A and B are shown apart, each in its own frame.
Chain A
Amino acid sequence: MNGGLRKKHGFPAGRIVREKPGQHPESAEGLVGPALQRLKGDKLALLGLAVIAVMVAVGFLAPYLAPNDPEKVVLTQKLAPPSAAYPLGTDHLGRCLLSRLIYGTRVSLSTAAIALATIMLISIPVGTAAGYVGGWVDNLIMRIIDVLLAFPGLILALVIAGMLGPGLLNVMIAIASVWWVGYARVIRGIVLSIKEKEFVLAARSSGTSHFGIIVRHILPHVLSPVIVLATLDMGSLILAIAGLSFLGLGAQPPTPEWGAMLNDGRPYMQVAPQLMIYPGLAIMTVVLAFNLLGDGLRDALDPQGTLRR
Chain B
Amino acid sequence: MVKRYLCKRLLYLLPVMLGVSLITFGLINLAPGDPAEIILRAGGVEPTREAVEALREELGLNDPVYVQYLRWLWNVLHFDLGTSFRTGMPVTQELWARFPATLELTLAAMVVMVLLAVPAGILSALYRHTFIDHFSRICALVGASLPSFWKGLMLIYFLAVVWGIFPVMGRGGLRHLVLPAVTLGFGMAAVYTRILRASMLDVFGQEYIKVARAKGLKERWVIGRHALKNALLPVVTLFGMSLGHLLGGTVIVETIFAWPGVGKFVVEAIFNRDYPVIQGYALFVAIVFVLVNLLVDISYVFLDPRIRLERGAGE
> Is A26 interfacial (CB-CB < 8 Å)?
no
In the assembled complex, the CB of A100 is this many whole angstroms from the nearest CB of chain B, namely 16
> Is B289 interfacial (CB-CB < 8 Å)?
yes
- In the bound complex, what is the Cα–Cα distance between A235 and B244 (angstroms)? 18
Evaluate contact between B248 and A7: CB separation under 8 angstroms. Answer: no
Evaluate contact between A159 and B281: CB separation under 8 angstroms. Answer: yes
Evaluate contact between B141 and A8: CB separation under 8 angstroms. Answer: no
Evaluate contact between A143 and B15: CB separation under 8 angstroms. Answer: yes
Mark out the residues of chain A between 14 and 56 whose CB falls within 8 Å of any chain B CB in the assembled complex: 14
Evaluate contact between B144 and A291: CB separation under 8 angstroms. Answer: yes
Comparing B183-191, B221-229, B306-314, the segment that makes contact with chain A is: B183-191
Evaluate contact between A1 and B194: CB separation under 8 angstroms. Answer: yes
Mark out the residues of chain A between 136 and 164 whose CB falls within 8 Å of any chain B CB in the assembled complex: 143-144, 146-148, 150-156, 158-160, 162-164
Task: For B278, list chain A residues within 8 Å (CB).
Answer: 159, 162-163
User: Do A158 and B16 contact each other (CB < 8 Å), given the known contacts A3-B187, A287-B145?
Assistant: no
Q: How large is the interface on A (under 10, 10 to 19, 20 to 34, 35 or more residues)?
A: 35 or more
Task: For A187, list chain B residues within 8 Å (CB).
Answer: none
The 8 Å CB contact of B244, one of A152, A243, A259, A291, is A152
The 8 Å CB contact of A6, one of B142, B241, B282, is B241
Closest B residue to A160 by beta carbon equals B30
- In the bound complex, what is the Cα–Cα distance between A288 and B143 (angstroms)? 9
In the assembled complex, the CB of A299 is this many whole angstroms from the nearest CB of chain B, namely 13
Evaluate contact between B30 and A4: CB separation under 8 angstroms. Answer: no
A interface, over-half SS: helix
User: Do A156 and B282 contact each other (CB < 8 Å), given the known contacts A6-B245, A150-B19, A150-B290?
Assistant: yes
Closest A residue to B245 by beta carbon equals A3
In the assembled complex, the CB of A278 is this many whole angstroms from the nearest CB of chain B, namely 10
Evaluate contact between A280 and B144: CB separation under 8 angstroms. Answer: no
User: Do A262 and B251 contact each other (CB < 8 Å), given the known contacts A4-B241, A159-B282, A162-B270?
Assistant: no
The 8 Å CB contact of A247, one of B30, B243, B252, is B252
Closest A residue to B194 by beta carbon equals A1
Q: Per-position contact with B for A226-261: 1 when CB-CB < 8 Å, else 0? A: 000000000100010011001111000000000100
Task: For A7, list chain B residues within 8 Å (CB).
Answer: 241
Evaluate contact between B157 and A273: CB separation under 8 angstroms. Answer: yes
Evaluate contact between B147 and A243: CB separation under 8 angstroms. Answer: yes
Mark out the residues of chain B between 20 and 37 whose CB falls within 8 Å of any chain A CB in the assembled complex: 20, 22-23, 27-28, 30-32
Task: For B290, list chain A residues within 8 Å (CB).
Answer: 150
B interface, over-half SS: helix
Evaluate contact between A266 and B145: CB separation under 8 angstroms. Answer: no
Task: For B281, list chain A residues within 8 Å (CB).
Answer: 159
Evaluate contact between A144 and B19: CB separation under 8 angstroms. Answer: yes
Q: For B237, B241, B285, B286, which residue has the most chain A Cβ atoms within 10 angstroms?
A: B241
In the assembled complex, the CB of B202 is this many whole angstroms from the nearest CB of chain A, namely 9
Evaluate contact between A246 and B282: CB separation under 8 angstroms. Answer: no
- In the bound complex, what is the Cα–Cα distance between A246 and B149 (angstroms)? 8
The interface size of chain B toward A, counting residues with CB under 8 Å, comes to 65
In the assembled complex, the CB of A93 is this many whole angstroms from the nearest CB of chain B, namely 20
Evaluate contact between B157 and A276: CB separation under 8 angstroms. Answer: yes
Task: For A276, list chain B residues within 8 Å (CB).
Answer: 150, 153-154, 157
The 8 Å CB contact of A248, one of B198, B241, B271, is B271
> Is B148 interfacial (CB-CB < 8 Å)?
yes
Task: For A270, list chain B residues within 8 Å (CB).
Answer: 161
Evaluate contact between B240 and A8: CB separation under 8 angstroms. Answer: yes
Mark out the residues of chain B between 265 and 288 whose CB falls within 8 Å of any chain A CB in the assembled complex: 266-267, 269-271, 275, 278-279, 281-282, 285-286
User: Do A155 and B15 contact each other (CB < 8 Å), given the known contacts A7-B241, A266-B153, A276-B157?
Assistant: no
> Is B84 interfacial (CB-CB < 8 Å)?
no
Evaluate contact between B147 and A280: CB separation under 8 angstroms. Answer: yes
> Is B177 interfacial (CB-CB < 8 Å)?
no
Evaluate contact between B285 and A235: CB separation under 8 angstroms. Answer: no
Evaluate contact between B191 and A152: CB separation under 8 angstroms. Answer: no
> Is B303 interfacial (CB-CB < 8 Å)?
no
- In the bound complex, what is the Cα–Cα distance between A170 and B22 (angstroms)? 21
- Smallest CB-CB A-B distances: 7 pairs: A147-B19, A154-B248, A152-B244, A280-B150, A1-B144, A162-B270, A3-B191
Q: List 17 A-B contacts (CB under 8 A).
A: A1-B140, A3-B191, A8-B293, A146-B16, A147-B15, A147-B20, A152-B244, A153-B248, A158-B266, A159-B278, A162-B270, A262-B153, A269-B161, A276-B153, A276-B157, A287-B146, A292-B141
